[in-house]
Amino acid sequence: MRGVFLHVMADTLGSVGVIVSTLLIRWTGWTGFDPLASLFIATLILASVFPLVLDAARVLVLDVGPYSEPTLRKALGDVSTVRGVKSYSAARLWPREGANLVGSLHVQLAPGADPAKVSARVEAALRSRVPGLKELVLQIEGDERFCTCMTS
């Protein structure tokens, strides 16, 4: 959506630049306004493209932004200390937009643990350490009554 917005904005400003340069040429007779308008339009397009390309590159290289690897490992380590969690696996965190993250995690329940309570505790533990975590998918394993919990 951001790319579409930037494209429409560049088209609009380009059209305005062409209209202004046409009027200036008509009033003054100097045709140099046409290449100046073209340079202005090209500068606007480049200025709008760089942030979009950088954001796309961050997503492609799975840059987690301000969260360092030790911080995320500590947050995941806290999951092991949650009451009712036997272990966890397949931890995945990736950027969504800006400093926001999306994640998924498989959680193995301890015997007799309540899946709903464990799910809420795990989510709270991760969100307290990683405030940019906007979406979390938990795969609860070890109890047939409760298979997957998806939160946002």
β-strand pairing of 133-141 with 101-109: parallel
Q: What is the pLDDT of residues 58-100, one digit of tens each?
A: 888 888 877 778 888 898 889 989 999 999 999 988 888 777 8
CATH code linked to domain 69-151 = 3.30.70.1350
What residue ranges do the domains of the chain occupy? 2-60, 69-151
Cβ 103 vs Cβ 79: under 8 Å: no
Q: What is the pLDDT of residues 5-62, one digit of tens each?
A: 888 888 898 899 899 999 999 999 999 999 999 998 899 888 888 888 888 888 888 8
For residue 70, report the phi and psi dihedrals to the nearest 5 degrees.
-60, -35
